[in-house]
Amino acid sequence: MKKSGKFLTGIVAVIALVAAGSARAEVVVPEDFGMQPMYGTVVSDGTLFSNQSVSSVSAHTPPDQTTGKGGGNWVCKNFDDPNCQTQSWMDGTIILSPCSKTTEPVCIDSLSIGRDGEKLSPATLAFEAVSQKIPASPASGVPAGGSASLWKSSGVPNAFGSNDYLVVVAMTYSKNKGTEKATLNGFTANVLPAQVRTGDTYYAAESFTETSSTGMPQAGVGWRGARGMINHSECEMTTDGYCFIREDFSANTKVSINLHLNNSLTGWLFGRLKTPTISVSKISDSINQLTVEALPTVVPNLVGAVLKSDLSKNPKIDNYLKGKGYPGEIENYNRIVGTSGFDGSLGSGMNNLERFRVFEEVLKVYSGNDSRFQKFTRWTFGSTQYDASGAGSACFSDKTKLVGIVTTNSPFYESGPPKFKDDSLNYVVAGPHFDVDGKTLFSGVYDLNMRSEAARCLYGFSSAPLKAVVSVTSADGSTQDVQTEALSEKDGWLHLGAYNFHFSQPTIRIKLSQEKTVVPTPAATPTSTPNAPAATTPAPKANAPAAPAIPNKAKTIIITCVKGKTTKKVVGTNPTCPAGYKKK
């Protein structure tokens, strides 16, 4: 029996950044949709999911493509388990323990929580949850897997009124048959405000267990306890005697987390944060300390569905459904249309813009009564593999360090880093036009943090100050007036944010520029006159005021430029409007 009452994500659970194997997928819909004969998509993003909260390793062999028979999924002790080495591939999730609870070099060093604009205070570790743990895999190069940990703030309660925060940092690995070492694919880091319930004897530690309800070995996630598999859908996760219920952050809460991670995690990070700052420092030849500090943001859960009897009236969705099976397979289509309940697919975040285009006309922010699908604040980030060659510049291809972090509250966004095209950093996002009430425009959030050296590499800039032009272009070509945060540069990182833009599928463009350095023309050397008296510099008068100090850094300002109905923000120390624009 699989664990129900949870969502499945398509990215950094934030996102679920790395798919964990088809056997662990589960389609869960709101209670007020589940009994209706509908086909659609449920877009849930940012919550913990079963395959992200438990350390586990499983092996997989696909069925024969001709007969459809054979194959299966098996639970493994770890990546070195000899019983799993004969399968086609293995994958697994390793949950990081707090550094104080493990000897592993990768761990959670600390958590700090406070109010925006104030100094953050260290949170204290309450306990690491009792849950399934995975021993280290020395031959495969994979550390031991722990479980989620509960931390208490020193005075910043969450929206429920408690000081409890659940932290889950998951690293994902994979290993193909015949390969000695496992590959580190990415990680996700989640900080969730929590309500903690205790004392219920039905609360049991989650585990990744084998089931065979269909007669075929199948890897599934379920509760393990003396009274059997019990569904506690209100619990984000459970451990022996504890239920953790997800709550919201209270207003103006800021979070900072320090992680010890493999320095093989390079490239770009992606997440659900607002105004993040990032720093990376070396601990050893193989381990870095990553610090991320940010405000949370809100990503809506979406539902888009049509009655199965009306599929022919929605050709994009109808054709999408017909194309989901093997080529020429119409039986799958007929089976889904013939069922009485809800059928569909889940997934948001990265690499799902095509799904958005299919369901765009019916996607809406969930407005029902199922609390699991109502909006929550998110604080999560992570990384995934991507092909940097498509980013349009070799400046993003550095495999030795983290290059940048992109965060947004858009339910869907483009894969990989911003694309460098036409001298601009372009990023496509997508989401609902209106909020849950169907009237209020949903406001987008986008933050870009990038290593200064990467930004200067793009344009061949010097170390002189930079300025930026930010524009948001809707799918119909119109340009939106947006709020931007001043371009800032600190400790080798650039930050720029764009806020209050609207959907459904805008492109955010950031163009950096730099004032040309004016080299003063040297004064002509006067021709010497024979016997002319030597020039002398008069001595300063007593008590004369000192010459004014030259400021080290010019003030960064923002101006608004207009051209007809088009508006752009220009950020810099001495900003000027682009050609054809006038200062507003």
Domain residue extents for the chain: 22-248, 386-517+554-583
Contact 37, 338 (CB under 8 A): no
DSSP summary character for residue 565: T
Measured from the Cβ of residue 197, the count of other Cβ atoms closer than 10 Å reads: 16
Quote the CA–CA distance of 556 and 570 in Å, as a whole number.
10
* pTM for the predicted model, two decimal places: 0.79
What are 358's two structure tokens?
């299919």
Residue among 196, 194, 200 nearest 230 (CA)? 200
In eight-state DSSP terms, residue 317 is: H
Ranges of H-type helices in 446-554: 452-459
DSSP state string for 330-379: -HHHHHHHH-SS-EEEE--EET-HHHHHHHTTT-EE--SS-GGGS-EEE-
The runs of H, that is alpha helices, within 2-101 are 50-53
pLDDT in tens, the chain (584 residues): 333 332 222 222 222 222 222 233 344 678 888 788 999 888 876 444 445 678 999 999 988 888 878 888 889 999 999 989 999 999 999 999 999 999 999 999 999 999 999 999 999 999 999 888 999 999 999 999 999 999 999 989 999 999 999 999 999 999 999 999 999 988 899 999 999 999 877 788 888 777 655 545 566 655 454 334 456 777 888 888 898 988 999 999 999 999 999 988 888 889 899 999 999 999 999 999 999 999 999 888 889 999 999 999 999 999 888 887 655 567 788 888 888 888 887 666 656 788 888 999 999 999 888 877 877 789 999 986 665 555 667 888 777 888 889 999 998 888 778 888 888 999 999 998 899 888 999 999 999 999 999 889 988 888 888 888 899 998 888 888 888 887 888 889 999 999 999 988 999 999 998 876 555 556 555 554 455 444 444 444 444 444 444 344 445 577 777 777 677 777 666 777 877 777 88
How far apart are alpha carbons 25 and 49 in whole angstroms?
10
> CA–CA separation, 83 vs 77, rounded Å?
9
